[in-house]
Structure 1
Amino acid sequence: MKIPRSTSSRLLALLPATALAAGLLAGCSDDTAPDAGSSASASASVDATEQVAENLSEFSYPGEDGKTALELLQEKDPDAQVQGEGENAYVTAIRGREADPATEFWGLYVDDELAQVGAGSLETEDGQTITWKLEEIEQ
């Protein structure tokens, strides 16, 4: 013979199962915010791309035999802004960070040495480090 449970005892029996289900759902949420160890930081109200562009002052990549610094830049950052072409190319923005033409420019370095030619002329080599640095124009 079965003894009917009271309504309150049924609710108490469901409480742990409900709490467990809520906890599991919270743990499976699609939270895309970067963790504290992430190299890119962004606030909830600012797009991560905007945050990177705002703070970017240096951008590096490895050289490759047979490719120019400009070709590699355009591979690593397809949205890089360039005025002119080839030997006459002048980089004006990298990763969304535009140099202020009145006060800044993107300087090109190879292994921490200022390049002696432009990005479209600089043939890179395996093992080199190509770095673009946002620099101030000396007045």
Structure 2
Amino acid sequence: MNTTSARPLRALGAAAAALLLTGLLAACGATGESGTAATATTSAPSDAASSSAAPSDSAAPSDGGETLAYAGRTGSTALELLLEADPSAEVTGEGENAYVTAIGGRAADDAKSEFWALSVDGEPAQVGAGTLETTDGQEITWTLETY
């Protein structure tokens, strides 16, 4: 019987992906149309005592799941900013019908009843990412949650 767990390896892989994403954004300058840099913060669950991928203060997931947080920008939707912060994010549909299925290479698993939840300043979004117009100073957070 195998008594080892793959969880530490998954956490390490998620932390490495977060560092890679952060490095790519920094190297590319990740500037939007307004010329301001898009800054994203990611986190992943970890069994280790410390992790190099730390969540922002207000982006702590409620169930220990992965998160991605970034600042809102007046004139941009949450979906536009997500795709700037993580060009590899996977989305089905467009505009108001857009549904985010994967962020940072981590797909929500239907078999585990997972989904990527969108929140603004710590409150659940009332509209979808393709419709949600953000403003400067808002914190947009995606958290992998279960239903």
Same fold (TM over 0.5): yes
Could you tell me which residue of structure 2 aligns to residue 13 of structure 1?
none
Please list, as runs of the form range in 1=range in 2, the aligned pairs for 1:114-129 lying within 5 A after superposition: 114-129=124-139
Q: Which amino acid aligns with 1:112?
A: G
In the superposition, the TM-score normalised over structure 2's length comes to 0.58
Q: Matched residue of 1:72: which SS?
A: helix
Task: Quote the RMSD (CA, aligned, Å).
Answer: 2.7
Relative to the length of structure 1, the TM-score reads 0.61
**Distance change (3 Å), C-alpha of 1:95 and 1:53:** farther
Whole-Å separation in 1 of the counterparts to 2:99 and 2:136? 23
Q: Could you tell me which residue of structure 2 aligns to residue 80 of structure 1? A: 89
What is residue 106 of structure 1 aligned with on the other side? 116
**Per-residue CA shift, 1:24-52, capped at 9, x if unaligned?**
xxxxxxxxxxxxxxxxx848xx9923998
Any unmatched runs of 5+ in structure 1?
Answer: 1-40
Aligned equivalent of 1:48, options 5, 10, 16: 16
Q: Is the 8 A contact 1:53 1:95 kept in 2?
A: no
Structure 1 residue corresponding to 2:77, chosen from 64, 68, 73:
68
In 2: Cα distance, 1:59 partner to 1:49 partner: 12
Structure ID, larger Rg: 1
Question: What is the match of residue 55 of structure 2?
Answer: none
Q: Indicate how the Cα distance of structure 1 residues 131 and 107 shifts in structure 2: closer, same or farther if over 3 A, else same.
A: same
Range with bigger deviation, 108-117 or 56-65: 56-65
